[in-house]
Structure 1
């Protein structure tokens, strides 16, 4: 196969590259599903114990940009090809111009900027290619890494739904963040100066 040149590739930046999720990526999904507390923060619930078959079926369902529940899934790789995470975009409400994005980074690769780098690509894609107007995020209280990432991306906290999510024996607040295309463009333009 001919060597791929990524010099002008839209789906990468100086840290990561996005690609289609592959059925062969099931092992990454399976192994990362043993991090129960991170899954609870992300999904707002305790997941059942992981199984190989469930991860294989899930990976088969979302491979090659197949849409699952209106979500399109991408693998997040370092520029040397190491799979570090997964990101998906929910384009379920194009009529109103809103969208959601979810990321999952393997524990050993967190805190290195991979999730933020992948989010930057997704925001650019949604705002500049899909003509969407607003990114919306719902974050469980205590998910400090996600809150910090959203603030770094320029998202604003728009509200708190008090005691809205029940998990781990109590009700938790749900923190709402948002970013409009207008604010996104202001942030991008100020970074270029």
Structure 2
């Protein structure tokens, strides 16, 4: 049974009213290295993005969902990207607001999006690219059944030095 609702959170499509949240999150320089963002996003660009966010994953090859609690507070975002229906795979990324971390939000969101991907989109495998020094994400994905399958040496240039990136994969069996 398809379910995007968990015990404490649910995943939902982005709404026009999410503009300020999206603007705040996308312009948070502390997470730019995760998303490979180099410049700020304008509200105009984000409004256009929201206008098109309803498009089908098969058309745009990505899906972004808001992570919300049952009081309708936005806690973060989860993304499927580089969706490849021919090979039945997608990349996965997650960001949780700093004040909401260490409360199980990421774990529950990752569980819900993985189940959705495997059972609704019939994805065979999900993969995640995680900076080697991002111990919280490494722990989260490892605890959720993702296996480290590779290391990309000196992959990202961050703060004046190169950082390795780990490749994690989860295959639906």
TM-score in terms of structure 2 length: 0.87
Is the CA contact (8 Å cut-off) linking 1:65 and 1:74 kept in structure 2?
no
Is the CA contact (8 Å cut-off) linking 2:9 and 2:105 kept in structure 1?
yes
Structure 2: segments with no counterpart, 5+ residues: none
1:54 corresponds to 2:45: yes
TM-score in terms of structure 1 length: 0.79
Q: Give the structure 1 partner of residue 98 of structure 2.
A: 107
Distance 2:172 2:17 in 1: 35
Question: What does 1:88-107 correspond to in 2, within 5 Å?
Answer: 88-90=79-81, 92-107=83-98
Query: How far did residue 56 of structure 1 move?
Result: 2.5
Q: Does the C-alpha gap of structure 1 residues 99 and 9 become closer, same or farther in structure 2, counting only changes over 3 Å?
A: closer
1:133 corresponds to 2:133: no
Query: How far did residue 176 of structure 1 move?
Result: 0.7
Is the CA contact (8 Å cut-off) linking 1:166 and 1:172 kept in structure 2?
yes
Moved more, 146-155 or 125-134: 125-134
Q: Give the structure 1 partner of residue 16 of structure 2.
A: 23
Query: How far did residue 153 of structure 1 move?
Result: 0.4
- Equivalences, count: 172
Query: How far did residue 16 of structure 1 move?
Result: 0.7
Q: Deviations over 1:66-85 (max 9, x none)?
A: 55841112111102211111
Distance 2:49 2:98 in 1: 20
Structure 1: segments with no counterpart, 5+ residues: 1-7, 183-193
Match of 2:77 among 66, 72, 86: 86
Distance 1:9 1:136 in 2: 21
Q: Does the C-alpha gap of structure 1 residues 77 and 143 become closer, same or farther in structure 2, counting only changes over 3 Å?
A: same
After superposition, the CA RMSD in angstroms is: 2.2
